[in-house]
Structure formats: C-alpha cells, structure tokens
Amino acid sequence: MSAQHHANARILNRRTLDRDHRVLAELLKPEMSVLDCGCGTAAITAGIAKCVGAGGRVVGLDRDESLLAIARREHGSETNLQFIEADICTWRDNRKFDIVSAARTLQWIADPVAALRGMRDVCLPGGLVVVLDYDHTQTSWVPEPPSEFVAFYRAFLAWREQNGWDNAMAAHLEGLFQQIGLREIRSIEQNEISKRGESDFSARVSIWCDVIQNTSEPLLAAGLCTKQQLEDTKGLWAEWAETKLEKQLLALGTTVGRVAWPE
C-alpha cells in the first residue's frame, strides 16, 4: 500500500472558499451539485454549501476519518451537505455532480490519473472538473531562508518524491486532463503571495512550523533528517520569519476541464 499523508487540521481550518479556492467560488451557482474530493475539515466545503444554497447538494469526500469527524462536528447541521469516508481513486456512486473539485489534494496521491478518472466518472456530461494544486518546485522566499531551512525543504521534497507524490502537480494538470479526455481545458495561476505588513502574514508564513511538526516522523523514518535538525529548524524558521522574511510565494494553479457528452 502506498503511503498516505495525514493533513494538519489547524492548517485546513484556516482556509476559506473565497480566499483559497477562488476559481471554484466564481463557478458556483445556486442549486448546483458539487463533490469536494479531499474535503478535510470542510472549511472550504461549507463555503461551497452556502453558495449553492438549500436547493443545491454538496458531498465532502475524504479518506481520513479523523478529519471528517471534525467536519461533521463543525458543519454536520447543514442540510445540503453530506460527508463520506472514501478514496476518490476507487469511490463510485450512482449520483452525478455538476462540479467535481479537489483543492491541494492530488499532490498527496501517487496515482493522480486514477483520482482524476474517478472525478470524471462521477461528473455529469457537460459538467466541470476543477483542480487546485501546488507546484512545490516553484516555492520562493525573499530573502533566501537560512541554510538549515533550505536543507529541510529539500528533505521535504525528497520525502514526497520517495512516496511517488508529484512535487510539480500544478504544472502537470493540463496534460493529465487531456489524458483522461476532458475538454475546454484552461489553467489559471493562483499563487499565494504573502508580504510583510499584511494582516495575515504571520499566520500564513507559520505554515512551515506546522509542516515541520507534521512531517517529522516520516522524515526521520526515511533517514532524511535528524531529530535535532528538525527541532533546530522549527525554532529557527519561526524567529527568522518573524523578523526577516519579507515575502513568501507558494506556487499554485487551478485547472478546469469539461466532461464530454457521450457521442
């Protein structure tokens, strides 16, 4: 069985539909049916449910039951919102959806083609597949971070590569959409740029403290870091980001494709 990433609920809960999945937000209309793959704690999914209204239908799908427990506790009272524990690579359902979406999810799947085929197969003919994801190879900081953090980031990418996870997922989405037969494909740059002085700057750049904490065990198990290196890097990043970091760019892109009508 391939490795599975367990997301940090604190990171997921910071996100909103309008800020963190903007292209999808612009596509939503009342009474639409939407499947959100890799919904996590449903911070974005709840926003989808609000947009489509009482006449719409939203399903949040995730393979991590601990995250779904949070989603159900926080958003389970929404009558147009349902949560299912499943993997989109293998899940199939008789219901079809106007839009099938995944945000920052395919980057953690070793077989993204299987995931995209699953998304396509539960989307209505003429419906849209909408995927937002990272290109970790294009992440940048101004000024250059301390060498200890750069070493950690390289280890983070190496660990992901060992698990078969695509570090440049966003850059490859168009080709994958073409591979599974989607039409009218378009890609939209959706970089997250954080600058010193912005109200949410500290919260956004502190993501790396959470990433270091969340990946410590697998990085140690893979022999890519020592415990001391991880502890030192976490403290060093927190101090450096607070006092010296001026700008952070997380490279993301959204790709949209339409499911073909049967011929």
CATH among 3.40.50.150, 3.40.50.2000, 3.40.190.10, 3.40.228.10 for 9-258 = 3.40.50.150
Residue 95 has pLDDT above 80, yes or no: yes
For residue 53, the model assigns a pLDDT of: 97
Give the long-range contacts of residues 113-118, CB within 8 A, separation 24 or more: 113/176, 113/179, 113/180, 114/89, 114/90, 115/37, 115/88, 115/89, 116/176, 116/177, 116/180, 117/180, 118/37, 118/88, 118/89, 118/90, 118/91, 118/92
Domain-wise residue ranges, the chain: 9-258
Residue 2 has pLDDT above 60, yes or no: no
Give the long-range contacts of residues 159-166, CB within 8 A, separation 24 or more: 159/215, 159/218, 159/219, 159/222, 159/224, 160/107, 160/136, 162/222, 163/2, 163/3, 163/5, 163/110, 164/2, 164/110, 164/111, 165/5, 165/107, 165/108, 165/109, 165/110, 166/106, 166/107, 166/112
Residue 1 has pLDDT above 60, yes or no: no
The pTM of this model reads 0.94
- Average pLDDT (161-174) is 98
Alpha-carbon span 246 to 140, nearest angstrom: 11
Cβ atoms of 52 and 81 within 8 Å: the answer is no
Pick from 2-11, 29-38, 113-122, 176-185: least confident:
2-11
Alpha-carbon span 4 to 80, nearest angstrom: 29
Cβ atoms of 110 and 164 within 8 Å: the answer is yes
Mean pLDDT, the chain, as a whole number? Answer: 94
Per-residue tokens: 121: 């197969």
For residue 206, the model assigns a pLDDT of: 92
> Residue 146, preceding bond cis, omega within 30 degrees?
no
- Average pLDDT (180-202) is 97
Contacts of 29 (CB under 8 A, 6+ apart): 51, 52
Contacts of 73 (CB under 8 A, 6+ apart): none
DSSP state of 224: S
Q: How confident is residue 11, by pLDDT bands cut at 50, 70 and 90?
A: low
- Average pLDDT (193-204) is 95
